[in-house]
A and B are shown apart, each in its own frame.
Chain A
Amino acid sequence: MDQVNNLLLSSLVFSPVLAILILAFIPNHQGGAIKKVGVLGTLLPLILSLFLFASFNYGTANLQFVEKHDWISIPISQDPSGTVYSLEINYELGVDGISMPLLVLTAVIGVLAAVASWQIKKRLKEFFILFHVLFIGMLGVFAADNLFLFFIFFEMTLVPMFFLVGIWGYGEREKAANKFLLYNGIGSGIMLLAFIVIYLVTQTMNMEQIATIFSTPQHPIASAISPAFRYGLFLALFIAFAIKLPVFPFHTWMLKVHVQAPPSIVMIHSGILLKMGAYGVLRMGIGFFPEQAYQFSTWLAVLGIINILYGAVLAFVQKDLKMVLAYSSISHMGIVLLGLAAMNTIGFQGAMFQIVSHGFISALLFFLIGVIWDRTQTSMIDELGGLAKSMPFVSGILLAGGMASLGLPGMSGFISEFFAFLGLFGSLPVLAAVGALGIVLTAVYLLRAILRTTFGPTPDRFARLADAQPMEVIPMVVLLGFIILIGVYPAILGNPLQQTLKTIVPIVTGIGG
C-alpha cells in the first residue's frame, strides 16, 4: 500500500477539523457564514468517505486502508533486575466490510443533519463546532482498529452530545443531558474495564489481533483464561454496548434524549450513535468471543424480542409523535439483536442492513418531525391532524418514511427485516415466530401515528402552513433515495459485507456448533 493510502483514513476521520478551524475565526454575529461553513464543512468527510467506499476492495475480508503509528508505551511490570516491560498502545486505523458502510452512513447523515441544523437559532458558532467534534468522534469509532483509540473516540462523542442536548434541546434539556451523561458514563466505564482486562490478557489493543487470539482454538494466550472468565468479559462488553444500543432495561435515557434534543441532533443520535452500540456488539462482543456469543444467542434473541414487543406496544399508546418514534427505535434495535442472535451469515447481514437502514429511516422521520415542529410548535398527535392539505409534500414523505419503517417491500426496511428473520428462522425458529409478531405491531402503531397527523380535518390554524423549503427538500429526498436504493439494489450494501461476514460466521458456528 502506498503512502497516500496510508493517510486516507486519518484524513477522513479528522477532516471535520478543517471546518472547526474556519468556524473558530468567524465572528459570532455572522450567522449566515457560520451556517454555510458548518454545512459545507461536512461535505469534505462525505467526499472522502465516498472515495474510500469506491476504492474499497470487496474481494477480501482483510482490513483496508490500514494505518499504524507508535503512540504510547505503558510500563506495566518490572522484574527484580529493574527491566521494565511495557505494553504498547498504537494509533491504529482500518476498515473492513462492516465498518466501511457505517462510515458512509455517518458521513451522509452528518451532512444532512448539518443541513437540518439550519433551523438552529441561537449560539450557532458553538453549535457547529461541537457538531463537528461529535462528527470526528463518530467517524473515529468506526475507523479505529485499536481498543484504546476506539474508547477515546467513543468518549469524544459523549461530551459534545452533552452540550448539544443540554444547550439546544427543548424544555427539559438539562435533565436529558444529565441522564445521557450518567448512563453512558456507566457504559463507558464497564467498557473500559473489559478493554483493560482484555489488554492485560492478550498484551495488545489491536482489535484484529485480539479477535485472532480469542477465536483461534488452543491459542496459548486464549487458553490461559477460563471459559467462565471469557463469558464474563463477553457479558461486560455486551452490557456496555447494550446501554448504548439500547437494550430493554437500559433504554430510559434514550427516550429522554429523543424527545428533548434538537431534531438535527436526534437524527445523529438515532441514526448513528445508537448504531455504535450495535457495531460494538458485533465487532467486539461477537468478534472477540464467538463461542460465548453463540452460547448467549438464545438470550440475545429473547432480549431482541422484548425490545421489539415492548417498543411496539408502548409506541402504540404514546401521545407524542417523538415518543412514538423513540419507542419505534427501541423496537427496531430489537431486530438488530435478532439478526445477531441468528449467528449465521444471513442473520448478520440482516442486522447490518437494519443498522444502516434504520439509520436512514429514523434520520428521515426525525427530520420530518423537526420540520413539522418548526411550523406547528407541537409534536403531540392529538393537536396535529390534517397536515396533508397544507403540507402535501412533507406529509407524503412522512408516509413514505413510515412505509419504509414498517418494512414495505422495495424499501430498505423490508430487506433488513427479511434477512434478520430469515436468519433467525434458520437457527431459532420458535423465537423468530414470536418476534415476527412485532412486524405486525409496527404497522399498527406507525399507521396510527402518521395517519392521524396527516389526514383528517385540518384545524384552521394549520390551514396555511408552508410546505417544504428547498433546504428541507434536499435531506428528505436524499434520505428517501438511499432508503429506496438499498431496497431495490441491496447488493450495494451486501457486497462489502459479504467477505467480512463470511470470515466471522465460520468461526462462530465452527466453535459453537
Chain B
Amino acid sequence: MEVKDIFSYDWTYLLPEFIILGFATGLSLLDLFAGKRLGKHAIGLLSLLGIVLAGVFVFVNIQTMDQPYSYMADMIRIDDYGNAFKLLFLGGTAFTILISLSYMRQSEVAHRGEFYYLLLSGLLGAMVMASSADLITMFVGLELLSLSSYVMVGLRKKSLQSNESAFKYVVSGGIATAVTLFGMSYVYGLTGSTNIYEISQRLAEAGMMGFQFIIYMAFAFLAVGLAFKISAAPYHMWAPDVYQGAPTPITAFLAVVSKAAGFALVFRLLLISFLQVPSAEGQFFLTQGSLFIGWMAAASMILGNVMALRQTNVKRMMAYSGIAQAGYLLVPFVPPTTLFFSEVIFYLFGYLLVSFGVFAVIMVVSREQQTEDLKGFAGLYHRSPVMAISMTIFMLSLAGIPITAGFFGKFYLFMGALAQENYWLSAIMIVTSVISYYYYFGIIRQMYMRAGENEAPLSVPKGIWVFIFILAIATVFFGAFPGLVTDYIQATFNPSFDFGNMLPTRTP
C-alpha cells in the first residue's frame, strides 16, 4: 500500500467532524472560563449552531463526492453509507438540544454546559462509528459515544434513579465492550489486520482453510457485544433501567442517535467482514450468519413487545418498545440485499421523527404531573388536545398504522422480508406488531378515555409545542408521501460500492 504524507490528504471532507470537535472543545473552555457570565441558553444555542454547520458540510460532501474518500488506509472513510447515517445523527442531536433547551430551564441538572458538550462529543463518536472501516477507529468511536452517554445518563447528580441507571449503564456497557473486543481479537488473530476490507478477504481464506469454528465464534461475540448499542436481544436488559433513569432528552438521544450509530457500525462491520466467508451452504453470512441475526431480531421483537405490555412507567415502556423496534430494524439483514440500506435509513428517519415527538410529550406531561406513570396521561385530551392528538399520531406510527411514516417504514421492511421469502420472520413481525397495539393504544386509552386528576389546561412551553406539532405533521406527511424520502435516498446515496457486488440482488 502506498504510504501517504499526512498533509497530502484533502482534509475538507472531514470538516463536519472537525466542526463538531472544535465546538465541543471550544464550548467546554468557554463554559469553564465564562460559564457564569453567559446567558442561560448560550451554550445550547452555540452547539446547535455547530450541528447546523456540520450538517451543511455533510450536504456539501454528499453533493461533491462520487467516490468514497479514504484517510490512512480506511481509518476514516467518508462515503455515502456514513453520510446518510451522519445526517440522522446530526438531526437527532439537534432535536435533543432543541428539547433540552426547554427542559433544562427548570430541571435539577446543575451543570448545564457539560450537558451540551458531552452531547457533541457523543455525536462525534457516533459520526466516527459511521465513517470508519477499521476496527481501531470503530472502537474509538464506539467508546467515545459510550463514555459520553454514561456521563449524560448520570447527569442528574442528586437523583438516586439517575445515579443507579448510570451505574448500570457503565457496568453492562463495560461488559458489552469486553465481549465486542473479545470478538475483534479473534478476528485480528485470524487475519492480522484491522482494516475490514482486508479482513473480509483474509477471513474468506481462513474459512477455506478450516477455521470456520473460530470465525463463527468471532461473529457471535461481535453480534452479541454490539447488540448492546442497538438494545437488541440478547443484550437489551440495560435499556429499561437506563431509559427510565436518564434525563428525558438523553433518553431520546440514546433511543435514536446512539441506536442508529450502533446500527451503522453493526451493518458495516459484520456485513463487510463476514460476507465472503464460505460455508457448506454457500456464503456463511447469507446462511448461518443471517439466521443468527434473525434469531436476535425475533427475540427482540417478542421480548420487547411482550414485556412492554406490563409496564406502567412510560419511559420504561418506550425502552421495551425500542427493543422491539431494534428487532424490526434487524429484519432487512436476514439475509441482506443491496436494498437493506434504503429500508433501514427510511425506517430510522421515521423513528427519529416519532421518538423525539414521543419523548418531548413525555417530558412535558411528566414534568407537570410529577410522575412518569402512564396515569399521568389520563385525560390529556381535555387538557391539551394538540398534545394528545400529536401523541396519538406518534403512537399510531410506532404501532405501524397508516397513514404515518412508521407504517410505511414497517411496510417497506416487511416487503423486503417477503421478497427474500423470509416468511417466519414476517409472521413474527405481524404478530408482535398486533401485540404492540395493546400498549400503544394503552396510552391512547389514558389520554381519551380516562379522567385525569384535574381538567385544567396543560401549560406547554411555546417552543416545545411548535416542535411537537411539526413532528406530528411530518410523521403524517412522510407517511402519505414516503416517496419523497425513498427517492432522495435512491438518487443521492449509492452504498453499493461499499459493499461491492457481494450482496445478493433481486431482479424482477
Contacts and interface: CB of A to CB of B under 8 A. Distances in A.
Interface string A216-260: 000000000000000000000000000000000000000000000
Contact of B505 (A77, A87, A163): A77
Nearest to B412: A74
Contact of B445 (A174, A189, A192): A174
B414 A196 contact: yes
A190 B434 CA distance: 11
Contacts of A82: 494, 496
Interface string A131-169: 000000000000000000001100110110011001100
A193 interface: yes
A117 to B, nearest CB: 18
Contacts of A72: 408, 481-483, 486
B418 A156 contact: no
Interface residues of A, number: 39
A79 to B, nearest CB: 5
Contact of B508 (A77, A151, A159, A186): A77
A80 interface: yes
A75 B508 contact: no
Contact of A197 (B338, B412, B418, B490): B418
A75 B345 CA distance: 13
B473 interface: no
B415 interface: yes
Contacts of B419: 76-77, 200
Interface string B466-508: 0000000000000001110011001000101000010001111
A151 B430 CA distance: 15
Nearest to B408: A72
Contacts of B342: 75
A156 B402 CA distance: 7
A178 B505 contact: no
A203 B506 CA distance: 13
A346 to B, nearest CB: 38
Given A159-B401, A181-B441, A80 B505 contact: yes
B483 A71 contact: yes
Contact of A182 (B437, B444, B505): B437
Contacts of B501: 80
B414 A192 contact: yes
Which of B412, B419, B441, B444 has the most chain A CB atoms inside 10 A of its CB? B441
A76 B506 contact: yes
Contacts of A159: 396, 401
Given A182-B438, A197-B418, A189 B402 contact: no
Interface in B151-189: none
Contacts of A373: none
A77 B486 CA distance: 13
A317 interface: no
Nearest to B502: A80
A144 to B, nearest CB: 13
A166 B445 CA distance: 8
B418 A78 contact: no
Nearest to A77: B506
Contacts of B402: 151-152, 155-156
B214 interface: no
A73 B483 contact: yes
A87 B508 CA distance: 9
Interface in A60-119: 71-80, 82, 84-85, 87
Interface in A179-196: 181-182, 185-186, 189-190, 192-193, 196
A78 B434 contact: no
Nearest to B417: A196
A78 B487 contact: no
B339 A77 contact: yes
Contacts of B437: 181-182, 185
A185 B436 CA distance: 10
B411 interface: yes
Given A155-B401, A203-B508, A75 B445 contact: no
B449 interface: yes
Contact of A174 (B339, B408, B449, B487): B449
Interface string B432-451: 01100110010011001100
Interface in B393-418: 396, 401-403, 408, 411-412, 414-415, 418
B414 A182 contact: no
Interface string B72-94: 00000000000000000000000
B302 to A, nearest CB: 15
Nearest to B429: A189
A84 B434 CA distance: 32
Contacts of B403: 152, 156
Nearest to A183: B434
A85 B403 CA distance: 25
B195 interface: no
A51 B415 CA distance: 39
A166 B505 CA distance: 47
A509 B401 CA distance: 38
B460 interface: no
Contacts of B431: 186, 189
B311 interface: no
Contact of B339 (A75, A80, A178, A192): A75
Contact of A77 (B401, B411, B418, B507): B507
A162 B414 CA distance: 25
Nearest to A85: B508
Contacts of A87: 508
B426 interface: yes
Given A174-B449, A200-B419, A77 B337 contact: yes
B114 to A, nearest CB: 43
A345 to B, nearest CB: 36
Contacts of B433: 185, 189
A289 B100 CA distance: 56
A152 B480 CA distance: 10
A167 B448 contact: yes
A182 B305 CA distance: 14
B483 A192 contact: no
A158 B445 contact: no
B298 to A, nearest CB: 16
A166 B337 CA distance: 43
Nearest to A190: B430
Contacts of B434: 182, 185-186, 189
Contacts of A189: 430-431, 433-434
B339 A76 contact: yes
A211 B1 CA distance: 59
A181 B506 CA distance: 36
Contacts of A162: 441, 444
A364 to B, nearest CB: 30
Nearest to A173: B449
B418 A196 contact: yes
Contacts of B430: 186, 189-190, 192-193
A185 B402 CA distance: 12
Contact of A192 (B411, B441, B490, B505): B411
Contacts of B490: 75, 84
B4 to A, nearest CB: 29
B442 to A, nearest CB: 9
Interface string A405-428: 000000000000000000000000
Nearest to B436: A185
A79 B507 contact: yes
A196 B403 CA distance: 17
Contacts of B507: 77, 79, 85
A137 B286 CA distance: 42
8 contacts: A73-B487, A77-B506, A80-B505, A85-B508, A159-B396, A181-B437, A186-B434, A189-B434
Which 6 interchain pairs have the tightest Cβ spacing? A77-B506, A189-B430, A185-B434, A78-B338, A72-B483, A152-B402
Interface of B: 337-339, 342, 396, 401-403, 408, 411-412, 414-415, 418-419, 426-427, 430-431, 433-434, 437-438, 441, 444-445, 448-449, 481-483, 486-487, 490, 494, 496, 501, 505-508
